[in-house]
Amino acid sequence: MYRLSRWMLELSVVCGVYSLSLMALLGWPWSGVLMLGAGVIVALKWNIRRLTTLGSARFADERDLTNAGMIYSKTGLILGHIQASSNRIGALCSLFRRRIKPKHACEQALELLNRDRARLVRASGAIHTAVFAPSGLGKGVSLIIPFLRECDESCVVVDFKGENARLTAEHRRKIHGHQIVLLDPFRVVTQTPDCFNPLKDIQADDPLAIDECNDLAKALVERAPDEKETHWNDSAEAWISGETATVVRYGEPDSRSLQTVRDLLSSPERIEMSIQVMRESDAWDGMLARKGGQLAHFVDREKSSTLTTVSRHLRFLDTPAIAASTRDSSFDPALLLTGKMTVYLILPPEHMRAQSSLLRMWIGSLLKVIIRGGLRTKNNIHFILDEAASLGHLEIIEDAVDKFRGYGVRLQFYYQSLGQLKKCFPNGQDQTLLSNTTQVFFGVTEMGTAEMVSSRLGEHTIIVESGGTSDGGSWQRSMGAQLQESAGHSYNTSSNWQQQARKLLKPEEVIGLPPRVA
């Protein structure tokens, strides 16, 4: 079928070229003049050189995007589209290149008849991505949902409203063959949500189990980015880690959960009993006994204040919905490594602040599962962190940005402004994220973000013309023996050109861009 179509198109092209040649011969010499003029214009177009003395920044054109693999790629976050120009001669020549398959040759030739030549632009080479756009401008509709519908690799999706799950979960199950996990403790999307118990993946006889408990405690204790007094949070981590390790080592299989840890830390009698168990234990080469000895040093007011801090960090567990969601696991998170699982982390906006520790626990635990899977060169796992500011400053996220690339971790951060990022990563820590991500900005309304975008775009060289004109006249009459008159007139004009540097876009121009221009 395509071979016949190709043959007919080739015949049409040959007939067209023959007709044009005949017309050129009949119209000679005027046709020759027109051809010469067209050749000169094309030559001038190709030889135009941009001034680069004071800056060489420019916006990428279709050729740049094609060379970067951002137009015809089938993978990567979709950034938008451009109206592509058509290479008519190249498309027609493809019909006669036998190394091009008939199907592709016909498609390229027939593309000339398509008036809509929009081309999708993708961040195909990006490892991690940071998107900055105000609320309500369609980050989900424009970026997240198209990515989830096209990407066939494993994903972990922060989904506060449940919209992403409603619009993409069934598609990913049917089209990509994924196991769909809905961690939805408040039943926003489903009445039969999945559940996840991070302690279930920690084996009591694993020599690294106590390290896993330490990492989990670190994720549960939310710290201020510019924390000055660290003693109370450090102490809270020690208590949570010690009690978690005790539950992992000595708890019954059905009771190894954070709910049991919370029960222990809520009862003075159980606290004393667990410390005694720790001090008498030889687990993990005596490391658990060492933890028990450290906790025994807390007395009186220090102990009371520390346990109050612990309670503050674990109070998110004190609801029936979260208790049901964390007592057991309904799925094996290690299946993320196969490339055939999508996990939706669903929390309604009204519970976002109160349950930020739950979200941190989910993200931190799933990242640890991936790290335990070892280095990989395929089956990447994408973490789509919508409203990433709700995570606060999570150390494992900071590590993932610059250290977990080899494990297949790919992060997508969604912030409303640079201010949110700096609040989570103050004192220059935000530069680590910016240095290791591809940034996307649209709908910028805040001057600080606009100045950063303007600075990143750079400067280009422009020609500035200056000059002036002067016009003057004179007239003189003298009386004497003879009447004499004289007149004069002068006119001067001057102009000069000089090169100047100008920002590709000034901050006010960045703010003035249409909200859908990225």
257-284 pLDDT, tens digit each: 999 999 999 999 999 999 999 999 999 9
Reference 131, options 115, 146, 114; nearest CA is 146
CATH architecture, range 129-196+329-441: 3-Layer(aba) Sandwich (3.40)
Beta bridge partners of 131: 414, 440
- CA dist 69 and 162 (Å) reads 33
Q: Is the pLDDT of residue 512 over 80?
A: yes
For residue 132, give every residue at least 6 positions away whose Cβ sits within 8 Å of its Cβ, in sequence order, or none. Answer: 415, 416, 417, 418, 421, 439, 440, 441, 444, 449
Evaluate whether 160 touches 387 at the Cβ level (below 8 Å): yes
Residue count of the chain: 518
For residue 141, give every residue at least 6 positions away whose Cβ sits within 8 Å of its Cβ, in sequence order, or none. Answer: none
Q: Is the pLDDT of residue 453 over 70?
A: yes
Highest mean pLDDT among 47-61, 117-131, 471-485: 117-131
Q: Is the pLDDT of residue 446 over 80?
A: yes
Tell me what pLDDT residue 462 has: 83
Give per-residue pLDDT as tens, 98-156: 666 776 666 666 666 665 567 788 888 889 999 999 888 888 888 999 999 999 999 99
Q: Is the pLDDT of residue 481 over 70?
A: no
Number of CB atoms found within 10 A of residue 442's CB: 21
Share of the chain above pLDDT 90, in %: 46
250 vs 80, more confident: 250
Longest dimension (CA), the chain: 136
Evaluate whether 152 touches 339 at the Cβ level (below 8 Å): yes
Backbone angles phi, psi at 287, to 5 degrees: -70, -35
Long-range contacts of 202-211 (CB under 8 A, 24+ apart): 202/248, 204/248, 204/249, 207/284, 209/245, 209/248, 209/249, 209/284, 210/241, 210/245, 210/284, 210/287, 210/288, 210/291
Evaluate whether 495 touches 466 at the Cβ level (below 8 Å): yes
The pair of structure tokens assigned to 317 is 């567990």
The pTM score is 0.81
Q: Is the pLDDT of residue 378 over 60?
A: yes
Beta bridge partners of 440: 131
Backbone angles phi, psi at 453, to 5 degrees: -60, -45
The identity of residue 167, as a single letter, is L
Element (H, E) at 132: strand 129-132
- CA dist 315 and 383 (Å) reads 26
Tell me what pLDDT residue 392 has: 83
Tokens 């028990």 -> residue: 292
Give per-residue pLDDT as tens, 5-36: 767 767 776 776 667 676 766 666 665 656 66
The identity of residue 202, as a single letter, is I
Average pLDDT over every residue of 387-400: 87
- CA dist 226 and 423 (Å) reads 9
DSSP notation for 54-85: S-B-----HHHHHHTT-SS-SSSEEEEEEE--
Number of CB atoms found within 10 A of residue 337's CB: 19
Q: Is the pLDDT of residue 363 over 80?
A: yes
- What angle in degrees, to the nearest 10, is found between the helix axes of 283-296 and 268-279? 140
Return the domain boundaries, the chain: 2-123, 129-196+329-441, 198-317, 459-511
